[in-house]
Amino acid sequence: MTESNQGAVGLVVKLPFATPEEFLAKYGGNITRGGIYLRAKAVKPPGTPVTLDLRLASGERIVYASAVVHFVTGQQGQGIPGMGLRFVQLDPQTRRFLDSAAASLPHAQSDTPPLPNGVGPADHTLPPSPAPPPLSAAPIASAAPRAAAGSAAPGPAQGDVVIMSAEALGLSTEEPKRTGPVIGIDLGTTNSCAAFVRNTKPAVLHSREGHNTVPSILALNSRAKLVVGHPAKGQMLTNPRQTVYGAKRLVGRPYESPIVQHIKDRFHYEIAPGDGGEAAVRLGDRIYSLQQISALILREVREVAQNQLGQPISRAVITVPAYYNDNQRQAVREAGKLAGLVVERILNEPTAAALAYGYGRKLNQRVLVYDLGGGTFDASVLELADTVYEVISTGGDTFLGGLDFDNAIVEYLLNEFRKATGRAFQGDRVAMQRINDAAERAKCALSERSEMRVHVAFVTMIDDKPYDLDVTLTRQKLTELTEKLVDRTLQVCDEVLRAKNLGPKDIDEVILVGGQSRFPLVHEKITRFFGKPPSKGVHPDEAVALGAALLAHSLGQLEGVVLIDVLPMAIGVGLPGGRFKPVLERNVSLPATKSYTVATHRDEQTELELSVFQGDSDRAADNEYLGTLKLTGLPRRPRGAVQVTITFEVSNESLLKVTAREGTTGREVSSTFTTRDTPEAARARVSRLEAEVAPAAPSPARANSRPPPSATAPRTPSSPPTKSTPPEPPPVVPSKRSLMGWLKGLFGRA
């Protein structure tokens, strides 16, 4: 301690912690928004002014404040010597840090310094001293690492929040240039992984910390900077409100969709509407799109690859769940572009795993890939014939994964807590995240043990008394809690098989992929269902990235692998009455094209409008709204005299392009779909379809489009022939015919 020029005690403390997150995790009980408790052999009396300079092990300043000694301990022969310092004036960086601590630690809301357990009673008997002087304007030293996002206010404001722009986050806004080799990236719900082929052998690329995977986690740290990967995972326990995980479940979905509304409260961070009505994330006073979140994770993976390979990387094959719809696939492609990557191909995860399993083995088998990851489940049946990998059936559930297993355990633990205390659990987000973390560890441990004690100390206060959560979880109980989830995966497998008139005995090998597939109950149920144990031929965590790398390696080679994938969900149009009519059916081989020709259904009709949906429900409202295609400027002629050819084209990446062309003028409009309409506009379209049973003129709509996929993206050599139907004759109907008329002409009897 030193005396400052103003007469205050100058207190400089160097902490044995590397990061603010580590400080909060290990010392958070000693700090609040209003003050801090420090142990000290020599204490100053209450009322003594103090200038506090608290630094991390690196020398980076974490707290700089003027304070006053509020109380002391250990001065009457009881407890441990120390001082509680009450903050009087803070520098801006310290204020942001304390606000972050208060958001994650319930006791930290206090305006006075804490009295930690075990230090004894507070002693206020020493005489007070003069009030503290104002904080000097000393420069604030900082050794903060490069931030993933700037701290300047970037982009348009919505009320009290700011919509983040790509420029403010340092993301790419231009089409990346092709440089360097092509890598494979598994963009996972829990972890992401990059792989590369050297000397014909694929291998994963290690993270900065030496791990094989990068956690798919992004966080706003105590210095209001974004961190990605392992540093972000390190603050999940101390600051869950500002830590984003599992974003893959929500990317490409409208905020107002039933799915998002159903699960948004399960996350410890805030799901908010984005600029275009899509699901987004709010961190602090800023809104981040899920494409931006995914892009920051992809950029970290890209930098990992560049560090490992020693050269710039701008090309990648990125994997997605097989059951992703067109909106979600386009969102991943956009995230890749924002990360500075040319996405050479979007590849389905089960197909990538099958490629890792069969590459170079000259197999002739029918396999089922069972992919149970952190957030999604996919099942795909493939026929392998040497270098040809043909998917014949696929299905899945984008809301079934390891997170759901964890949630089942947490629900049981909270029920046991209620039984033991007689009170429902009322802990905060930090306590819930600690319980989630303990549940995940117990789940993993019970793969090798018969029982596991789940003990989480001091999770809540009841009647001013602290309570622990302490439950012994057995493997048998874990089986009871999660058996229905495993059974759901087998139901999907059964549906995928029956779609092609296959049975379990028609499968030669079952390939398990995804971390949750290690679960012993999964192995037991798979063995029972298929009559054989699953294959151990691939690494569950690395197979998808390795398969993506193998495809990346084969691009442009004359004798590369041939992948024939299928459409995971039907794509079609909305009909009056709210019905859905598929144009391209589920499991059709890709790439696929189908064309229809329709005629105008009223005199002098000048425009044509088509609302496009994707899904397997008979009701349009239950499927994903992709967008609306509108062709205007048709020649004014009698009904039936103008014919328009509408072509649905799905690439080998399951990306959709719809084209409408009028024959006499050659007028054409096309769109690679994902909608930018607001949820209100999407609902209005579905409502209009449901109400459209009386004659009505088409209402104007905004055309929604994105740039089409790169023209140089690889295509499967064995493209199926284009299907086309001859022009329909002009329908003989009253001149004021509704949209129902030409759609009936398009599909026959609706």
Active site residues: 186, 248, 349, 371
Peptide bond into 591 cis (omega under 30): yes
- Whether the CB-CB separation of 594 and 723 falls below 8 Å is answered with yes
Task: Give the three-state DSSP class for 379.
Answer: strand
Phi (first) and psi of residue 63, to 5 degrees: -135, 130
Task: Give the three-state DSSP class for 480.
Answer: helix
C-alpha R_g of the chain: 30
Interior/surface letters 559-590, b for 16+ CB within 10 angstroms, e for the rest: eebebbbbbbbbbbbbbbebbbbbbbebbbbb
Determine how β-strand 364-372 pairs with β-strand 509-513. Answer: parallel
Q: Give the alpha-carbon dihedral of 185, 353, 717, 592, to 10 degrees.
A: -90
For every residue of 197-214, which 3-state class applies, written as one string? Answer: EECCEEEEECCCCCCCCE
CA distance 575 to 569: 18
Neighbour count for residue 57 (Cβ, 10 Å): 13
- Whether the CB-CB separation of 343 and 336 falls below 8 Å is answered with yes
- Whether the CB-CB separation of 473 and 446 falls below 8 Å is answered with yes
DSSP letters along 255-321, please?
Answer: TTSHHHHHHGGGSSSEEEE-TTSBEEEEETTEEEEHHHHHHHHHHHHHHHHHHHHTS---EEEEEE-
Task: Give the three-state DSSP class for 656.
Answer: strand
Mark out the alpha helices in 28-118 (DSSP H runs): 92-104
Interior/surface letters 593-632, b for 16+ CB within 10 angstroms, e for the rest: bbbbbbbbbbeebeebbbbbbbbeeebbbebbbbbbbbbe
Task: Report how far Cα 488 is from the mean position of its chain's Cα atoms.
Answer: 22
Neighbour count for residue 519 (Cβ, 10 Å): 24
CA distance 122 to 615: 65
Identify each DSSP E strand in 6-133 by its residue range. 9-14, 35-39, 49-55, 61-73, 82-90, 122-123
Identify each DSSP E strand in 91-177 by its residue range. 122-123, 157-158, 161-163
- The encoded tokens of residue 687 equal 């409502």
Length of the chain: 750
The β-bridge partners of 270 are 282
- The encoded tokens of residue 503 equal 């049975």
- Whether the CB-CB separation of 610 and 689 falls below 8 Å is answered with no
CA distance 383 to 368: 9
Geometric angle at alpha carbon 599, from 597 and 601, rounded to 5°: 145
Task: Report how far Cα 218 is from the mean position of its chain's Cα atoms.
Answer: 10
Q: Give the alpha-carbon dihedral of 132, 138, 142, 148, to 10 degrees.
A: 90
Phi (first) and psi of residue 389, to 5 degrees: -120, 105
- Whether the CB-CB separation of 156 and 282 falls below 8 Å is answered with no
CA distance 259 to 289: 17
- The encoded tokens of residue 52 equal 């506090």
DSSP letters along 90-148, please?
Answer: E-HHHHHHHHHHHHH-GGGG-SS----TTS--EE--SPP-PPPPPPP-------PPPPS
CA distance 305 to 193: 10
